Amino acid sequence: MINRNRLVSQFKTMVEFDSETYHEREIADYLTQELKNLGFEVTEDDAGNCLKEQNAEYGSQIPAGNLYGCLKGNTAGEPVLFSAHMDTVRPGVAKRAVEGKDGVITSEGDTVLGADDLSGIAAILEAVRVIKEKDIPHPDIEVLFPVAEENYGKGSQLADYSRIQARQAYVFDLSGEIGNAALAAPTLLSFQINVIGKKSHAGFCPQLGVNAIEIAAAAISRIKQGWTDKETTVNIGKISGGVQGNIVSDECTLIGEIRSLRDSRAMEEWDKLKKVFEEAAVCSRGSVKLLYEKQIEAYEIKEEEEVVIRFKKVCDAMGIKAVTHKTLGGSDNNHFVHNGIRGIVVACGMNEVHTTSEYTTIDQLEKSALLALGLMTAGEPDHFV
């Protein structure tokens, strides 16, 4: 059913767009036309303009918003939403797809490939093409291609959910073999802690100073980082402070994150961290300013929900094993679930993502497109022959 040559060609074409986060204008224009050519009614929301007001990375370029499209169905059934994000991580400028004789597709080695998440977009578009060519019955098909997913799903957070009719979604944005699906994802808190001390000369009068770095070190020594339980992690990923070696540091800044599959546990860890830093500052005559932002909120989809049953049915019809699990990685689906759409995140042919070793394979792209086809058409077995 899947046209492998066409699928690979479109994937390669999309790879060549420079679509790093906040630079999705060109690929958004391309996808708008592709969707219209397939019969979708397409709209672009105002997310890009909203994000540009908050972020200087846009510069003078015209921002892109989230793309929403609806293809009217020709048979009974509830509408289903399919999603994959348009942006890629850095380094993502001047990407080129290199196809090996073994069917493995990589970049030239100095950029990411962008299979995260162009493999997902390619699969969705190819599935719709097959439906149109073969005149396969389908309910309404909705698509949402967000911007700025790689920055905690900032684009989908601003999407107009009143426009979306589907109550089930398949987000093509997961690594691993086709047939893998994530049913739960975490709350993610990003935080910044500013420790404030007092400057003094480190040689002549260190006793007059309050060393902010020392306060931070004392606090860090009391914090359990890494896994704090089987579903929660804490990490301080960046520390900076001080002026030079002969001055007692009067400031130290720490940046980190907390992830947990339970929202309450993430908040518990933040409260612990906050208390430890406040106590350390008081003990050393310093002070602290603590800021956090809840980037995404945890969710869990149950095995018995229709969106999962449908997925397993399609995998069975394809002859592949459905493997469901939880992930500590966030996605646009966190925002979908928060807005009443029961979605799961499915593997779509991306490997070693966020590295210059990223790759996909022609076989994975084909299976991913076939999965999308089955999910769009209720997984009837004759659609796979």
Catalytic positions: 87, 149
Q: Which two tokens stand for residue 65?
A: 């918003």
DSSP-derived 3-state class of residue 381:
helix
Quick check: 371 and 124 in contact, CB under 8 A?
no
The span from the CA of 135 to the CA of 78, in Å, is 19
| Tokens describing residue 367 | 């299976």
Phi, psi dihedral angles at 232 (to 5 degrees): -140, 135
Cis peptide before 79 (omega within 30 of 0): no
What three-state secondary structure class fits 240? strand
How far is residue 280's CA from residue 272's CA, in Å, rounded to a whole number? 12
Amino acid type, 295 = Q
Biggest distance spanned by C-alpha atoms of the chain: 84
Q: Which two tokens stand for residue 134?
A: 């073969």
What is the residue whose two structure tokens read 């929301």? Answer: 45
Q: Is 295 helix (H, G, I), strand (E, B) or coil?
A: strand
Helix, strand, or coil (residue 5): helix
Return d(Cα 149, Cα 353) in angstroms, integer: 14
List the alpha helices (DSSP H) in 141-288.
Answer: 154-157, 212-220, 263-283
Q: Which residues pair with 294 in a beta bridge?
A: 189
3-state helix, strand, coil in the chain (%, to 5): 35, 25, 40
Q: Give dist(CA 2, CA 116) in Å, integer.
A: 21
